[in-house]
Structure 1
Amino acid sequence: MDKFNSRHIIFLILGTGIVSLKTYPTIFTKVGGRDSWVAVIVSSILIIIYFLYIINVCRKTKTYSLYEIFKGAYGKIIGTVFMIVYMLMLFLTLIESSAVEANSMHTNMLLSTPQWFFLIFFIIPAIYTVKKGKVAIITVTIIGIVLIMIAGINLAILTAKYKKFQYLFPIFKDGITINFLITILKTFGLYGSISVVLPYLCEIKDTKNIIKDSLIGLFILIQMQIVSVTGVIMTFGINRGNLISYPKLIQTQRVSLFDFLEMGELFVMLQIVGGWFIKYVLTFFALTKLLKDLNINNKYIHYVISTIVFLFAFFAANNLFTLFKLLDYYTYISFVGFIIIPLITFIMYSIRKNGKNL
């Protein structure tokens, strides 16, 4: 457990890629309408192509250090600048994770509990976990993802009788519109969170099966997202679903067994709180790794970052409408910062590396 192997990348992909699309799908369904589930399928194919290309470049160049790739692509100075941009994306993801968790729990579960209370009991345990190192990170991730998948399977079974397939059709009633393309961009941007995995690649000691294990993680991820977004549409219909901020939390309130047992919310609370915590600690640890590459290794850095995240997250989470406006911007920022910039970087690094080998 003191080192990563390629099988761990399955859990890293799931830990970073699951919760954004599942927790606030109305960010893109309001634009894509009933065809949003088709857009998710398209962006799922794109994220597979994107991530496999990234891994393939690492394998062919035998370089897994993200900092070395940035320097190799742009030179030391410009490469460091782009590395800082990538680190700012990680910082924004920390704010997203903590703010959405606090706001979703406050809005749907514990209305009288203030957001700052959720943030404190989210951020402080994360500091403890991250400071314990990569063994604690991978342990929390594996256990959390397994429990989240079990909860997801249970929810799929319990909510099946409330879903209507006819809500998914007709497809492309108005043809392929600009809104459909924007929805693909948004969902692709939210999928971009799996780029948080990139700083972990240099920790993988056995990379022989990294392509196969990445594919396993990606296929599990995309089927979860497709089932999730189609499930929301089939449960509420697109018009009603778009009026709900966190439809997965409302969807599970319908679950009832024998008019006595109602445990749907318990499962989804595990998914949301656990899922966002896993994404937060994975992102936090990745950020501290990159700071060390830049020789920034102050013993108080965890507390400084956490305090800044708390302040920004409190501002974002304090108002539901403000949060969703910021999340809307975040989808586009994520597309640029987590998809476009890394993709261009790896293309340039591959070209330069191949040029030197000629």
Structure 2
Amino acid sequence: MNHSSDKISSIQAIFILVTAVGVLDHVIIMPTLLESSGRDAWITVLFSAILFLLWLPIIYVIMKRTHQEHLYQWLKNRWGKVIATIIISFIVLELFLMISMTLRDVTYWANISYLPETPNFVLVITLITVCFYAAYSGIRVIAIVNGILLPVVILLGLFVAIANFQHKDYSLLFPVFEQGLQRPLSGMLYAGSGFVGITLLVIMQHQLKSKIRLLPLYLTGLTLIILMLGPLIGAIIEFGPYEASRLRFPAFEEWRLVTFGRYLENVDFLSIYQWLVGSFVRISIALFLLPDLLLIQTKKKRFYLLLFISGTIIIISQIPISDLQFITYLAKFYLPYTFITSVTISFLFFFATFGKSERMKSQ
């Protein structure tokens, strides 16, 4: 098991979560959410946020009653190896999909926005290599690097929100419910799939030096809500609901509106930093957690497993699919799978914490 010196603080874990889940809420989900709910997308997020805040105590109870032990080890003691392996396999698949979907999305965006002449394969190899090194170096390295990079990401987010104030028309948020509750409700699964990313804290709970308390958990939840709601409202009030729903990367288009008089018109290059930091941390932490979740502790085994996963991801990323097919896959499989898996497993763990372990039953 991990020595105390290899672990991270609760605040470092929360910062990792904000960066890793933030890029999903801020970037990846937005096109799907706007297309499904249109002008009512911000209402969709508010509806989902209410359920999310009601669900958060379940996460807290799980972490408290498991004493933040390693999930796989705890499950084996509670329900036996077979059931534990089945449950963990769903989490492993979720992490694997997290890596592949993030890598594909960010490299595609890089190709169409600022590196159109660079082969996609080169971008994939470069990013996955950096993430591989970070994951192999350990969670403390990821936490330290994230702690250095995240403040600038936050400042840039505030900057683009303030700089675009002149382009904002809040009347475009209304009227709501033009088609009844159908459109707001149709996007709730997508919004929920962004919020349930907070389960990353449970997956990495054994890596924390201190116990997670309920108040910081709620503050983290509110941060995730703001991260989704902010750029979503921004896209609607800056482009209008119809045009916003047609944009592939609404958050990036918001950057392209930023100008400084006649002499400095394009500062959208600053968004590159935000995208790459979020994607780097998201991929790195998922890569790190895959062997960690499977209780693979030796450096040699971790190295080869990470190498195998990275190689597989690279191959998958080069499968020739159109962006329309990717968006369809995102909406029809990845986001629903993430939501259903996270919610189902959270309830399984919640009820498991109140049962007797296999070890206690055998005595």
Provide TM-score, normalisation by structure 2.
0.90
Alignment of 1:1-358 (within 5 A): 2-24=6-28, 25-71=30-76, 74-177=79-182, 179-207=183-211, 210-292=213-295, 297-315=301-319, 319-328=322-331, 329-340=333-344, 342-353=345-356
Give the aligned CA root-mean-square deviation in angstroms.
Answer: 2.4
Q: Which runs of 5+ in 2 are unaligned?
A: none
Q: Which runs of 5+ in 1 are unaligned?
A: none
Q: Displacement of 1:324 after TM fit?
A: 1.1
* 1:17-74 alpha-carbon deviations (Å, 9 max, x no partner): 2111221311121111111111112222333333331122321342432113433554
Aligned-pair identity (%): 21
Distance 1:54 1:268 in 2: 32
Question: Is the Cα contact below 8 Å between 2:37 and 2:187 reproduced in 1?
Answer: yes
Distance 1:336 1:247 in 2: 26
Letter in 1 for 2:46: I
Q: Displacement of 1:119 after TM fit?
A: 0.7
Distance 1:71 1:182 in 2: 38
Question: Is the Cα contact below 8 Å between 2:111 and 2:118 reproduced in 1?
Answer: yes
Q: Displacement of 1:294 after TM fit?
A: 9.3
Aligned pair in 2 of structure 1 residues 8, 214: CA closer, same or farther (>3 Å)? farther
Letter in 1 for 2:334: Y
Q: Displacement of 1:338 after TM fit?
A: 2.3
Q: Displacement of 1:263 after TM fit?
A: 4.7
Q: Structure 1: which 4+ aligned runs deviate by more than 4 Å?
A: 293-296
- Aligned residue for 1:297, secondary structure, equals helix
Distance 2:209 2:49 in 1: 28
Is 257-266 or 160-169 further displaced after alignment?
257-266
Question: Is the Cα contact below 8 Å between 1:33 and 1:238 reproduced in 2?
Answer: yes
Aligned length: 353
Letter in 1 for 2:336: Y
Aligned pair in 2 of structure 1 residues 2, 73: CA closer, same or farther (>3 Å)? closer
Letter in 2 for 1:292: L
Aligned pair in 2 of structure 1 residues 198, 263: CA closer, same or farther (>3 Å)? farther
- Aligned residue for 1:137, secondary structure, equals helix
Distance 1:163 1:222 in 2: 20
Provide TM-score, normalisation by structure 1.
0.91
